[in-house]
Amino acid sequence: MSVNDTAAALPAANGGALPIGGGLPSNLLLRFSAAALLWFAASGVTALWPDAADAQEWERTGEFASLLVVAAGLLVLAALLAAAIRPAPRSRLEAAIASLSASVPWLIALALGVTGWEILTAKLNLLPRPFFVPPQALLEVYLDDWPRLLDCFAASLRLLITGYAVGSILGVVTGVAIGWSRAVGYWVHPVLRLIGPLPATAWLPIAFFAFPTSWSASVFLIALASGVPVTVLTWSGVAGVNSAYYDIARTLGASPRFLVLKVAVPAAMPHVFVGLFMGLGASFAVLVVAEMLGVKSGVGWYLQWAQGWAAYGNMYAALLVMALLCSGLVTLLFRVRDRLLAWQKGMLKW
Amino acid sequence: MVALESTDTQAGVAGMTIDVQAVSHSFDLHGAPLPVLDGVELRVEPGELVALLGPSGCGKSTLLRLVAGLEPPSRGSILADGRPIDGPDPSRVVVFQDPTLYPWRTVRDNVALGLEARGLLRSQGHRIDKALALVGLTGFERAYPHQLSGGMAQRAALARALVNDPRLLILDEPLGKLDSLTRLAMQSELVDLWRSSGFTGLLVTHDIEEALFMATRVIVFSGRPARIKADLPIDRPYPRHRGDPVLTELRHRILELLGLAETW
């Protein structure tokens, strides 16, 4: 078996990349059909198996089953297209089909998972209610309550971005100032040491009392949570800059301003991004707590509200939205870093 | 190789006169002074290429830092064209043993550093390509430093210095970390550059042969604190030959001065 054959047999193992010179795997049709079949099966279980008699009948079951059929249909379509068109080697279409083919194990697992979930909840009613709901309950939330969810999503995003932007900008400025100026370091360092390790949520009671609105209080808390790691990492980055970089710039006629903006800051950037990632994680935690305890909108508030009504379907729906929000922002930050730090070797790909 | 056009500089590139007058210097080591230079007197005439030789850690590099204006001397004074040096100046540029290119800048942007720092990028930007051509890096403008070999990185560092049309080029073991073949090639290139440009050169090196091959004068220092032990003019025409018997004789003398004659 040649190297190419091995690579073709294990498309998932090489992360969807094409086996060099190999084209698409030969059993493409089989792979896609297996996945499609399981999605059809999930749809059939959902639509044809009656809901458990000892519980409520779930709404939107038909819509959910249709959605599953659509997913299965798309897979069939992809398989037929791939077989019929025979995309040119190394074309974009071929790359797309290859990456879909690499996802087949996941698609199969998802179909099995959804079927199992459907059977355990709606069909057999084996899991305690109301804590566990079938997947169509989430669909019901998205179809019926989407205006409110969208509102909450937007509110969370606005609050998070505002707080995180304020915290990151102040963090970078403070970090550079501490790293650059002995006087600033003398005064700020002890404060940072005392306050930095304190979780931002500890300020919650005083923040909601001291700020005019719970929104501004939350911005403060998120800024604090994200600003501290950004400050510390920026500072350590600036302090660790190779002093020869400054010597070079000075002999070439650089002003102090140039030394800060064109030498210290870019040299510290890899550290700054570590701080930005830590700060983003911390800001998620503070966002949810602030929205659960004070702010009257946002996904955190929605979670709390849904729990109050024992509307667990809404809660799962909101959790999923929250996960997409957080993951999306982390991905975005990775993209920004990859662009700005393209000069670095061996970066982690997200 | 082509020389930088001298028309767009002030009065061509005239070499600088350096006058080191009774300079002593010491570092503060855990509260106790550590003397590194002891009463150094040295006058370098315009257009000379003077090599500083001495035992490792004797303070030669410190002398270069003082001439560059990166630190003031503890005692004595250093004059550049008769005026005391009170800080770094783009007319006196240093090339260090490590290329110390900024890893986040491309080769071109690294070479542009001096022009950018002085706000001359717009009016003098064309000099960058000439400097890159001068060191043979045309075509590597968009490479990042981590993509360069050691020799290419040091060439880029040289271009970064030359683009400023220095009147004094301070070379702190610039070839010390290169492999021996690259080093021999770059010794000749540096000599060509110096001869065609007319700047004054100060070269710290550990390599006696390199000093003899390149310099018009070799200054031999004692161990720390460094004093000048000998000042040897190398009155041989360029391009020189490494097998020149006069250089061999001088090499023997220098080894003697450094206390290594028995290894000859």
- Per residue in A99-119, is it b (16+ CB within 10 Å) or e — as a string? ebbbebeebbebbeebbebbb
| Per-residue confidence (pLDDT) for residue A345, from 0 to 100 | 65
Question: Do B38 and B137 fall into the same domain?
Answer: no
Inform me whether the pLDDT recorded for A19 exceeds 50. no
- Structural domain count, chain A: 2
For residue A115, the enclosing domain spans 3-134
User: What pLDDT score was predicted for residue A348?
Assistant: 52
To the nearest whole Å, the CA of B169 is away from the closest chain A CA by 11
d(CA A199, CA A282): 9
Q: Do B148 and B25 belong together in one domain? A: no
Q: What is the pLDDT of residue B13?
A: 61
Q: Nearest by CB to B102, from A245, A250, A253: name it.
A: A245
The end-to-end CA distance of chain B, in Å, is: 37
- Do B138 and B226 lie in one domain? The reply is no
Same structural domain for residues B81 and B30? yes
- Same-domain status, B130 and B211: no
Distance, in Å, from the CA atom of A45 to the CA atom of A119, rounded to the nearest integer, reads 8
Average pLDDT, chain A: 86
The residue to which tokens 């850690």 are assigned: B57
Supply the pLDDT for residue A228.
95
Judgement on whether residues A48 and A172 belong to the same structural domain of the protein? no
- Angle, vertex CA A133, rays to CA A130 and CA A136, nearest 5: 145
Q: Is the pLDDT of residue A349 over 50?
A: yes
Is pLDDT above 80 for A69? yes
Position B49 pLDDT exceeds 80:
yes
Could you give the C-alpha distances from A298 to A230, A312, B213, in angstroms and in order? 25, 17, 75
- Domain co-membership, B133 together with B172: no
Residues B85 and B26 in one domain: yes
Q: Mutation test of the interface with chain A: which of B65, B104, B111, choosing the one with the most A Cβ atoms within 10 A?
A: B104
Give the domain-ending residue among A81, A99, A134: A134
A57 torsion bin: left (phi>0), alpha (psi -120 to 50), beta (else): beta
Asked whether residue A162 falls in the same domain as residue A263, the answer is yes
A168 and A49 housed in the same domain:
no
Q: How far apart are alpha carbons B15 and A78 in whole angstroms?
A: 73
Q: Is residue B217 part of a domain?
A: yes
A253 CA to chain B: closest CA distance, Å?
5
Question: Taking CB atoms and an 8 Å limit, are A258 and B96 in contact across chains?
Answer: no
Q: What is the CATH number of the domain that holds B232?
A: 3.40.50.300
Between these two residues, A86 and B158, which has the higher pLDDT value?
A: B158
Q: Which residues does chain A have within 8 Å of residue B98's beta carbon, measured at their own beta carbons?
A: 244
Interface predicted TM-score of the whole assembly (ipTM), two decimals:
0.84
Domain range for B119: 102-165
Same structural domain, B182 and B60: yes
Domain count for chain B: 2
* pLDDT over 70 percentage in chain B: 94
- Name the interface residues of A facing B (CB cutoff 8 Å): 242, 244-245, 247-255, 258, 262-263, 266-267, 269, 341, 343-345
Q: Do B96 and A248 make contact, defined as CB atoms within 8 angstroms?
A: yes
A346 falls within a domain:
no
DSSP B147: G
- Residue A181 shares a structural domain with residue A110: no
Residue A302's domain is classified under what CATH number?
A: 1.10.3720.10
Domain final residue pick, B148, B165, B182: B165
| Residue A323: exposure state from Cβ atoms within 10 A (0-12, 13-18, ≥19) | exposed
A54 and A180 fall within a common domain:
no
Q: Check residue A283 and give its pLDDT.
A: 95
Q: What angle do CA A193, A198, A204 make, to 5 degrees?
A: 140
* Long-range contacts, A193-197 (Cβ 8 Å, 24+): A195/A228, A196/A228, A196/A231, A196/A232
A256 and A233 within one domain: yes
Contact B166, B95 (CB under 8 A): no
Give the closest of A249, A251, A255 to B92, CB-based.
A251
CB burial of B37-64 (b: ≥16 within 10 Å; e: otherwise) equals bbebebebeebbbbbbbbbeebbbbbbb
CB distance B59 to B226 below 8 Å: yes
Judgement on whether residues A152 and A116 belong to the same structural domain of the protein: no
- Mean pLDDT for A165-182 is 94
- Based on the domain organization, do A96 and A164 belong to the same domain? no
pLDDT category, A67, cuts 50, 70, 90? Answer: very high
Residues A124 and A150 in one domain: no
Provide the pLDDT confidence category of residue A158 given band limits of 50, 70 and 90: very high
Burial of A260 (0-12, 13-18, 19+ CB in 10 A): middle
Return d(Cα B20, Cα B227) in angstroms, integer.
12
What average pLDDT does this structure show over B102-122? Answer: 90
Q: Are both B230 and B117 inside the same structural domain?
A: no
What helix, strand, coil percent values describe chain A, rounded to 5?
75, 0, 25
- Residue B146 DSSP label: G
pLDDT of residue A347: 53
Residues A258 and A282 in one domain: yes
pLDDT band at A15 (very low <50, low <70, confident <90, very high): very low
* Whether B79 and B175 share a structural domain: yes
Looking at the structure, tell me whether residues A47 and A12 fall in a common domain: yes
Per-residue pLDDT of A268-317, as tens digits, reads: 999 999 999 999 999 999 999 999 888 888 999 999 999 888 889 999 99
Distance from CA of B213 to the nearest CA of A (A): 27
Asked whether residue B28 falls in the same domain as residue B83, the answer is yes
- Out of A85, A106, A134, pick the residue that ends a domain: A134
C-alpha distances in angstroms, A22 versus A5, A11, A15, A93, B71? 8, 11, 15, 15, 62
